[in-house]
Each structure stands twice: as C-alpha cells, then as structure tokens.
Amino acid sequence: VLYKVYISFVEVGAENVQTADYFKGVASFLIVSIGGTLVGLVFAVILGFITRFTKKVRIIEPLFVFLLVYLAYLTAELFSLSAILSMTFCGIGANKYVEANISQKSRTTVKYTMKTLASIAETIIFIFLGISAVDKSKWAWDTGLVSCTLIFIFVFRAVGVIGQTWVLNRFRLVPLDKIDQVVMSYGGLRGAVAFALVVLLDGNQVKAKDYFVATTIVVVFFTVMFQGLTIKPLVKWLKVPRSTSRKPTINEEIHERAFDHILTAVEDIAGLQGYHHWRDKWEQFDKNYLSKLLLRKSVYRKSELWEAYQKINIRDAISVIDQGGNVLTSARLSLPSMASRASFPEVTNVTNYLRENGSGVCLDLQVIDNVPGAKVEEDTETHHVLAENLYKPRRRYQSHYSRHFMPLGEKERQDREVFQRNMKSRMETFKSTRYKRHKKERSLKKRRGSDAKEDGSDKPRRNVSWQDKDPVVVPVESEEDKAEHSDPEKEEDIGITFVARKAETPKQRPKSVPAALDGCQSPTAAPPSPTSGDSHLPWKGSVGSPPPCVSVEATKIIPVDLQQAWNQSISSLESISSPPAPAEPIHPRVSALSRLGGPRPASYTPPGSVGSSTSSIGAPVSQGSFGFPEKKKEDEEEEEEGGASQEMQPLMSSLRPPGPLPPPPPPLGSAPNSGRRRNPCVYLRSLVTMPPTGSAEPHSRGPTQL
Amino acid sequence: MGSSSSSMDNIPNAEELMQETGFSAAHLLRLYERFEFLDKDQTGELRPEDFGAVGGLALNPIGDRIISAFFSPGRETVDFPSFVRVLAHFRPNDTNRTRNGTQQEPVNSRTRKLKFAFQLYDQDRDGKISRAELLQVLRAMLGIQVTEEQLQSIAERAIQEADLDRDDAISFDEFRKSLEKVNIDHKMSIRFLK
C-alpha cells in the first residue's frame, strides 16, 4: 500500500510535491487499504453465495474459489487499490462460508493447490533474488545505505512493536509481556514481496533504483537467513511457551462453549458492553442473516458442537484403526491418548460423507447402514459408511458387549471358545448344505437369522440389528455360502477359510470386499500377500457398494482387535448357518476376523493381514475348489454371494475384472498354512472369471486354518 | 444510570469487599451503580425477576442457570456483597498482586472459576456432574439443532473422556483435569471497564 502511495509521488515528480500532497498521500493510504479490504469482502460474499449452490457440480468448486479470488485481485488492481489486501480479506471473509459449503475434496484441492502455487512463486522469487545478487549489473553498492538500513529496520521494528503493545495492553485481557515483544520484534522477516516491489521500480523515474535493489537484497538475505535461522534457538533460550498441539477433546469444546455463554450472560448482568457482548451480537447477526444467505441449507442447520464432536470421533476412530487397535475397548480406555496418525484420506472422506449427508446424519450405525444403499457408486462413500459404522460398535459395545466381547485380555480365550463352537456348527451345516448354496440365498437369510440367534447371546443383538437390512442380506448369503465351502475343511478349529467365489459381478461390491477383506486381513498375521497392498486399492471402480459391502468395509476399518471380536461373532454366525444368512456383512467378516483373531490377537499388519487373509482365503479356495466350478456358473445368481465374497476377498478384488487371479491366490496358498490360525472368514472370491479355479488349486491346503 | 450521588459511602462494607474480591474502588462503584439499576424497587436486594430485566439473558441458553448461581442455595434474594462476590469470579487474574499469606485462595483464581462453572452444571450440588445433568446442559446449548441421539452420544463421549474413576459422572477434579490445557484465565475473565 505504501508502495503505491510513494510510486504515485514519484510519478508526480519530486519537484511537484507539495504539502497538500502529503495529506493526499495519507488519505490515499487509507483509501487504498480500506478500498482493497472492501473489494475483498464483496468478493467474499459473492463467493460464499455461489458456493451455496454448487452441490451438484462439485467439480468446479475449486475453480470458483480460485477464479473469484483472482477476480478480487484484478478488480482491486483496476482501481489502484491494494490488491493484496483485497485478496486477503476475500479469503478471510469467505473462509467460514465456503469451507462449510464446498465438499471435502474441493477443500483439499484448494488447499494443496494454493500451497503448491505459493511455494512455486516464492521459490521463483528467491531464485531471482539470488541471481540478482550475483549479477553485478543490476545493483550498485552503497555501504552507508545498506548498513543504515539494516540497523534501522531492526530498531524501528522494535520501537514499533513496543509502542503498539503498550497501547494494546491497556485493552487486552492477557497482556503481551516482554518476551512476546522481543520475539515479535525479532521476527520481522522481510522477503519476497519487498524484493519484488523494488525490482518493479521504474528505473527512469527512480534514479537510485540500483541502490535500492542492492539494499533490498542485503536486507532480505539478512533477515531471512540470519534472523530466520537464529530465531528458533532464541525462542528456546527465552523459554517461550510453545503452542503444543493437543488433541481436541469433546469436553473442552463443550465447556468452552459453556464458558462463552456464561461470560456473555455475566457481561449482560454487569451491564458491560464487553468483548463477549459484541461477539455475541455479531454471531447473532451472522446466524440470522449472513449464514442464511451464504450457507447451504443443509449446512446451516448443523451445530458447531456437533461438528466438533464428529470430527473428534472420526479422528479417534481413524487413529485407532491405524494403530490396529480395538475400537471398542480402546475407545473406552484411551480416547485422548491415541497417536493421531490419522490417515487423511479417510478422515476427509468420512467427514465429507457426513457433511454431505446433512444435518440429519445420525451416527447411529443402523441408520448409516441403510443410508449407503443409496449412494452406492463411490468408493469413498462406502468407505465413509464403513467408518461411520464404527460408531455403532462402539456404542453397542458399551451397552451390550462389554461383557460379551472380549476385552483385550480375554480375547484369546473367548475367541477360541467361540471359534470352536463356530467350527463345529459350521461343519455340520456345511456338510448339509454344501452344494446347495446358490439355491439358498433366501433361505440362508433365514437360517442365518436363526443361526444368529442360536449363536449366542452376544451375537443376537448384532444380528438383529443388522438383519433388518435387506441389502445386508445379500452379502451375508454369499458369505454363508462360502462359509460352507470352508466347513468341510475345517478340521482344526482354527479358521475356515472360506472361499467366496464370485463370478465377476461388476456391480458387486468388489470394492467393499476388498476393503473388507483388507480389514479382515489385518488380524491375520499370515504372510502378507501382495494383495494386502491392495486393500485400499480394490475399491477402485467398484460399481456399487451395496450396503453389505458397507458393513464389510466398516469391518475393514475396524482395527484388528475389533475385527477379531467381530470375527468371532461373524464366524459364529457363519459357522452356524452355512448358508449365508442375511447377517450383516460384517458378520462374515467378523467371524473371519474372529477366527483370525482368536489365536493371534493382533497381527496388525495391514499388509500382512491382507496377505494372511488371502492366504486364508487360499485355503478355502482349495477346499472349495470343487465348489468353484459350481460357483462360477452361478455368477449371476451369486451376485450377492460374490459381493460377500468380495468383501472377504481383497485378493479377489484385485483380481477381478482384469482377469485372472494371478498372484494373490498363490500367495494365499502359502499363506494359509502360515496364517492358519487366523484366517477367519476369508472368503475368497475368485472374482475373475476362470482362473479362480486354477488359483484355487494351490491353496487347497490351507482352509482349515482359520 | 444509578443514583445521582452514589459514592463509596453508600456501599456497605466497601473496604472489606475490595479486600476480598480485589476489585478496585472504581470497579466497585460501577458495580454498585449497576446493582441499583437492576434493583428496580430499591429494596437493596435483587430478586430473580430483576435479573430477567436484563436483555440478553433470555436468549442465553444457560441464562437461567447463571441467574440461579447468583443466589446462594436457599436464599431468595441477592444483596450487593453476594452480587459482587459472584462477579469477582470473573476478574482477570492479577499476576503481580501481593498475596497475603493468610488469605485464602483469591476469589478469581483458576480453581474458583472452575468451581463456579462446575456448579452451573451440577444443579443438585452433589459434587458430580451426572450424565443427566450434562445432557440437560447440552440440550440447552444445542437445542433444536441436534437430535436426542446425537446429544446422547456427545454426552457419552464427554463422560468417557473425563471420567477417570469410572463412576459415570464427572467430579470436580476430573472436570478440572479435563480442562487443564485450556487457558481458563483467558476464557473465564471479563475486563471490567473502569
């Protein structure tokens, strides 16, 4: 801004500057800055308004953001106002509304694009700076100017900081103490902007340009390098309290809000027109007018506390999964203490999904299980749903499962018990229903239901809740089928590897399956198979993720511990009702997981797990190889099964459409042996067309090794 | 506002109040004026209806709780010293005040602030915030925007996070612990204008 002011002076010519011009200069300063701000705010409003309607055309949202901000810049330049200020205030003003309106993907896009652009621009400027420093023709050295400038910038900055803090401290609640002031005055890094401006000077009008350039180069070097490098040790030495990143807790959120309300009330009582009073007024205005205008309807209705709560929950859930922990138990124990290695894609996806669902999103998993049915197309959405599904187990766990579900300590024992029980029932059912799988889809449902019931008290609830969903049924059935496959195999008590063969069902949940499988896999410590890596990939292109997939996916996301628990339940279900019961998709997974989990509580190696599951899958495959041909035939019919199996088969997914099952099966084959104990319900789906059979072969051994 | 010639003499026990709460004379005067303003019928004590006259409180979700916090349990009215004492909770902490060794903890210390907030939640004064009480507060604050189930899950999580001894309620210590990273001084202080 000052630059512009002085440039205009220069253009007038040194001789012509009169007193009045000084006042004009000051006025011009004000106009330039305030005008720029206003332009920015106007564009912020426009931007917010536009993004309100972009729900159907998500892809162009980032484009709007960039365009309008650039437009703010150009407009300000057009009127010779401060373009930088206009862009800044456009961003600041629009931040709240745009962030709420646009999708998570767009938000990410904007953020990273901006960062990239910014760093590119800065790099270029500094390269230019460096070259200019070396290129003698561009500058002229004047020792006096340079040294005086260096001293002055330091001194004047300190003076400015001290003066302004003195004024501010009279109004601040928490005064800025000396140390803060020292840091602030020392931290005045001058950089690219100064250099860019000085180079822009018109050499003809400003005769001393070269001197300026030289001085600026030196100043920039000095501040950036010297001050930049030393400020950190300085801060440490002065023991300035650093801001610690802490995990946000819901408690803090709640109470902070309560405090705000308290303070506002007290201010009202005491008759003070304090900070909170005005802030409250602004928030009222914002809520009633601005937000209505600029925020999308669905977003408008949400409450901030709820959003904060969701974010915290998601972050925790993701981090639990990342660590391979058990969501149910660890959630209870150590919410704040989890390492937050939140995997961002999932976080963003889940939050995205939640946001898009509008205020009606209730994190009750039952609801969520239904919802995904509608949004089947995208991988991310299924992923979201899965993540959301996590909440359910958590709640249910608290209410129902705490006695039944294995807390970490007892897991093994219980797993084993359940597993054995499951195996037995599986064997029986398997034998009886071996070849009738494909016919039994519907009956499976019932059976499964009944199975579920007999499975044990701990499972029924789960089943009940999940059986309501038709979509769920499907996968379950398929899974049951697979379970049957594996039944025979299961000599040992440990996992039955179910081979879910699913003919290529494009619509299937290939994605979910892979996902599910992946999740499944994790518990299995078996040698990782290549497919494990696919766990995240398989989702590509899956056409529809039927709800069952969702649950699978959910399972997938669940940390290994949980999976084991789930596996237990699922396996029990499955074993009982070999025909796939409608049981929630999770069940198969769960059982698979439980199988896996039993002996080995936590082989939380995702890559490995995938492998292991695949290996386990391999086992069943071999077993079910005889079944495969049958299955293959029934591609169509077995759609559902396929789906289920898909879930169980991360491997398969990779194999899927492209073709032959290649690598995964073989590794599976080996895996089963190793991963014996853990292959719960790995439902192998020989997704692809033929090869499955072939691939099935190698794995024949493993099956029982669940 | 207030009476025309309010001066320090009108205020009963001014010196003690200043000592106890740390308000300066100017602050106290101002608060007294405000007190008189609120006290419409000049009885020297405030009743709940007087508080109702304050505009913004009706819109405040926990306004009624705050009002009741002014009243000591069992009493129907608030006199000036109590009024000032409650408000003293919100003074910013003085960093360089000399502490009299025998003086009990200053009114506006962090603990006292937290205690005040805690009492707002804990209506039945049993020393713990139970789930029901938490739900009440949440419901008041979030109101119609959030469904009952969502409220439940928020309350559930809040209790989970804070409840260390697993008694399904938040005691004062747990409350304090859960907020140890929050800058309470900052959040619960009002700059009283001179």
d(CA A419, CA A570): 10
Hey, what are B168's tokens? Answer: 């399904």
Question: What pLDDT sits at residue A575?
Answer: 56
- How far apart are the CA of B77 and the nearest CA of chain A, in angstroms? 15
* Cβ–Cβ under 8 Å, residues A575 and A426: yes
- Residues 135 through 154 of chain A touching chain B, CB cutoff 8 Å: none
Q: Note whether A362 contacts B147, CB cutoff 8 Å.
A: yes
Q: Do A309 and B154 touch (CB under 8 A)?
A: yes
A with B: how many residue pairs have Cβ under 8 Å apart?
149
Instruction: Please determine, for residue B194, whether its predicted confidence score (pLDDT) is greater than 90.
Output: no
Distance CA B164, CA B178 (A): 10
pTM surpassing 0.80?
no
State the smallest CA–CA distance between residue A171 and chain B in angstroms. 8
A663 secondary structure, DSSP code: S
Instruction: Give the chain B residue whose CA is nearest to the CA of A299.
Output: B145
* φ, ψ for residue A336, nearest 5 deg: -75, -15
Q: Are A687 and A542 in contact (CB under 8 A)?
A: no
CB of A168 less than 8 A from some CB of B? no
Would you say A688 and A661 are in contact if contact means Cβ atoms under 8 Å apart? Answer: yes
Q: Which SS3 state, helix, strand or coil, does residue B45 take?
A: strand
| Tens digits of residue pLDDT in A602-655 | 344 444 334 344 444 434 444 434 434 444 444 444 344 333 444 444 444 443
Distance CA A273, CA A278 (A): 7
Question: What is chain B's percent helix, strand, coil content, to nearest 5?
Answer: 55, 5, 40
CB proximity list for A118: less than 8 A, separation 6 or greater: none
Place of tokens 């969501």: A327
A349 vs A355: CA distance, rounded Å: 10
Task: Judge contact between A61 and A111, C-beta under 8 A.
Answer: no
Nearest chain B CA: its distance from A366 CA (Å): 12
Mark the ranges of chain A whose per-residue pLDDT is less than 50. Answer: 330-377, 391-402, 404-410, 438-559, 577-706
Q: Which residues of A touch B63 (CB under 8 A)?
A: 261, 265
Report the gap between the CA of A263 and the closest CA in chain B (Å): 7
pLDDT (tens digit per residue) in A111-164: 898 899 889 988 888 888 788 777 766 666 777 777 888 788 778 777 888 888
All residues of chain A having their beta carbon less than 8 Å from the beta carbon of residue B183 are 174
Report which of residues B73 and B116 the model is more confident about.
B116
* Interchain contact, A263 vs B120, CB within 8 Å: no
Which chain B residues touch A267 with a CB distance below 8 Å? 190
Give the chain B residue whose CA is nearest to the CA of A249.
Answer: B161
For A265, the closest of B60, B141, B191 (CB atoms) is: B60
A313 touches chain B (CB under 8 A): yes
Residue of A nearest to B63 (CA): A265
In this predicted structure, what is the pLDDT of residue A116?
Answer: 93
Task: Considering only the beta carbons, identify the residue of A252, A258, A284 that sits closest to B137.
Answer: A258
Amino acid at A649: Q
Smallest CA–CA separation between A419 and chain B, in Å? 31
Q: Do B161 and A335 touch (CB under 8 A)?
A: yes
Q: Which residues, at least 6 apart from A251, have a Cβ–Cβ distance to it below 8 Å?
A: B158, B161, B162, B178, B179
CB of A288 within 8 Å of any CB in chain B? no
CB contact under 8 A, B182 and A173: no
Q: Which two tokens stand for residue A533?
A: 């890596």
Q: In Å, how far is A669's CA from the nearest CA of chain B? A: 44
Tell me the average pLDDT across B87-109.
56
